[in-house]
Amino acid sequence: MKIYLSGQLVDESEAKVSVFDHGLLYGDGVFEGIRAYHGRVFLLKEHVDRLYESAKAIALEIPMTRGEMARAVVETCIANGISSGYIRLVVTRGVGTLGLNPYLCKKPEVIIIAAAIQLYPPELYETGMSVVTVGTVRNHPEAINPRIKSLNYLNNVMAKIEAINSGVLECIMLNPQGHVAEASGDNIFIVKNGVLKTPPVWCGALDGITRRAVMGIAEDAGYAVREDVLQRYDLFTADEMFLTGTAAEVIAVTTVDRRTIGDGTPGQVTLDLQRHFKEYVKVNGTPIQAN
Ligand code: PMP
């Protein structure tokens, strides 16, 4: 496998970063997870834009233009013969001292990995998945804003540990006010009386690229879509519920805290959106081809 590492494609065995990199020492950096489908990098511009916004929010200056970054992603796919797969784009603060001061880190490191995708078990897409609410509260927006896709994912990792220890693969994270924020690695939607509802990002959610795409697809398909503050009550009484994310795509949730959502099977709106999404990914991406 060839890895893009600060301007060069190097062999996997050569792709090494310093133990003094603040990405490692402090989780100081930003990242993106991107899908490639059928020879296209899905919504590449949107992902690159979000990466630069995350970087801006932590005062990290990425040493290349957005265009150069997008090109580097495509080149990394070409170098690895990837036409469908998963791309991890990472920008670390770079090498610094053992102290926190990010201004002493002179050169951010840019890493791009293009590999196969690891998915939820396929049967979960048939049956829907079970989730639990966890005690780990989503980061306060004025501590680390959940809109920043930072390398500091301990908040999500702690939540994931609770989910797995409870025997499920995903969880519902609440914000400090007790409102529904998001899952540990996905956004949350419910369907109630034919209306799609998802928490606004200010409730403590990442501005998910899949979330945005699904909101657009749903509107085009004639559904009403609303950003709404959601309480656990809204989940328990929803007709349908599903999660969205780059890796998960659109996946139904059929139980929350062992309570059945709707009739306990993936709902009709969810199934319809899954069908639309499969078509959408075929045409909305940057072609993986040489310049
Ligand atoms: N929330 C969190 C915390 C995430 O890490 C992700 C991405 N895995 C998402 C939501 C979904 O975002 P996207 O659709 O852009 O992948």
Domains of the chain in start order, with CATH, are 2-115 (3.30.470.10), 124-282 (3.20.10.10)
Confidence of residue 119 (pLDDT cuts 50, 70, 90): confident
pLDDT of residue 210: 98
Catalytic residue among 2, 45, 106, 149: 149
Q: What is the pLDDT of residue 117?
A: 85
Ligand 1 pocket: which residues have CB below 6 Å? 33, 156, 182, 185-187, 206, 208-211, 244-246
Q: What is the mean pLDDT of the chain?
A: 97
**Rounded distance from Cα 251 to ligand 1 centre (Å):** 13
Distance 11 CA to ligand 1 centre (A): 29
Name the residue among 254, 250, 257 with its Cα closest to residue 267: 254
Per-residue pLDDT tens over the stretch 134-184: 999 999 999 999 999 999 999 999 999 999 999 999 999 999 999 999 999
pLDDT class of 118 with cuts at 50, 70, 90: confident
The mean pLDDT of 19-40, rounded to a whole number, is: 98
pLDDT digits (tens, 9 = 90+) for 243-266: 999 999 999 999 999 999 999 999
149 noted as active-site residue: yes
Q: What percent of the chain has pLDDT over 90?
A: 97
Give the atom of ligand 1 at the shortest distance from the alpha carbon of 47.
15
User: 0.85 exceeded by the pTM?
Assistant: yes
